[in-house]
């Protein structure tokens, strides 16, 4: 049995991942913004086999409350073996272009809050000598595109941060997993036109669980995004800036 903290537990990907953990009897501590959604998810996970499914109302912008979240998770679970950081929001690119305030809010939620939480988590897991920190970044962070470069920049920061954190924690027995989903059909992306490149939360969740259990340090999910993003990164800048992406 693993004792797992899930931050942003009401997101579609996080919920699908929690269901896989529950099916094998893991103990879960679910943090998110909506008390009613958290309770509904927790009830469902208990039916699916979770050893424990506790909830905690969490605001990603309240950086000073992060230590209290980790303390509550550890106390409830009797320790902490792993954490999945899955909170975030899809940026309104046009609004961010027009407003520095909007830009800063997006970075606070999608980048800085993740880094701050990873820092607190890292210090706790190092003190016990083991653990896994899994963080959802995005393929959008591999190269800036005109249509979503604010969101992509925040995710690029998360990817770089987790890379450095992985190097720091490796000698101390703590694993850091960077997860890079492509297009995923969730309520957050409901308005987008879908294609064969879109994945389901369940398929992404299966990749996340495999990676957290001891797979690769960096995963693209589905797998085909790795070669696709290699191609995107390889396009010369003079050509790339002319593309309407």
Catalytic residues: 151
Return the residue matching tokens 């103990």.
27
Do 216 and 175 contact (CB within 8 A), yes or no? no
Query: Which tokens belong to 100?
Result: 């520095």
Other residues' Cβ atoms within 10 Å of the Cβ of residue 5: 27
CA distances from 65 to 27, 57, 116, 162, 231 (A): 22, 11, 11, 21, 41
Three-state DSSP at 220 gives strand
Q: How far is the C-alpha of 144 from the C-alpha of 141, rounded, in Å?
A: 7
CB 70 within 8 A of CB 120: yes
Residues whose CB is less than 8 angstroms from the CB of residue 118 and which lie 6 or more positions away in sequence, other chains included: 85, 133, 135, 161, 162, 165, 176
3-class DSSP state for residue 132? strand
Task: Supply 6's token pair.
Answer: 């899930």
End-to-end CA distance of the chain: 44
């Amino acid at each position: 049995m693993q004792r797992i903290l899930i931050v942003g537990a009401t997101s579609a990907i996080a919920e699908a991942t929690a269901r896989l953990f529950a099916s094998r009897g893991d103990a879960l501590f679910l943090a998110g913004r909506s008390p009613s959604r958290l309770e509904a998810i927790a009830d469902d996970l208990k039916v699916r086999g979770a050893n424990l499914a506790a909830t905690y109302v969490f605001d990603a912008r309240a950086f000073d409350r992060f230590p209290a979240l980790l303390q509550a998770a550890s106390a409830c679970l009797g320790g902490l073996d792993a954490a999945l950081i899955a909170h975030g929001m899809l940026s309104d690119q046009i609004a961010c272009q027009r407003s520095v305030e909007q830009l800063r809010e997006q970075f606070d939620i999608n980048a800085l809050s993740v880094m701050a939480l990873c820092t607190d988590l890292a210090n706790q897991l190092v003190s016990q000598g083991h653990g896994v920190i899994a963080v959802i970044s995005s393929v959008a962070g591999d190269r800036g595109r005109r249509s979503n470069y604010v969101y992509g920049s925040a995710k690029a920061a998360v990817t770089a941060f987790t890379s450095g954190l992985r190097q720091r924690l490796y000698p101390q027995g703590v694993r850091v997993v960077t997860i890079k989903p492509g297009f995923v059909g969730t309520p957050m992306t409901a308005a987008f036109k879908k294609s064969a490149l879109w994945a389901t939360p369940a398929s992404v969740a299966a990749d996340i669980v495999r990676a957290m259990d001891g797979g690769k340090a960096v995963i693209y999910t589905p797998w085909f995004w790795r070669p696709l993003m290699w191609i995107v990164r390889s396009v010369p800048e003079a050509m790339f800036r002319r593309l309407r992406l």
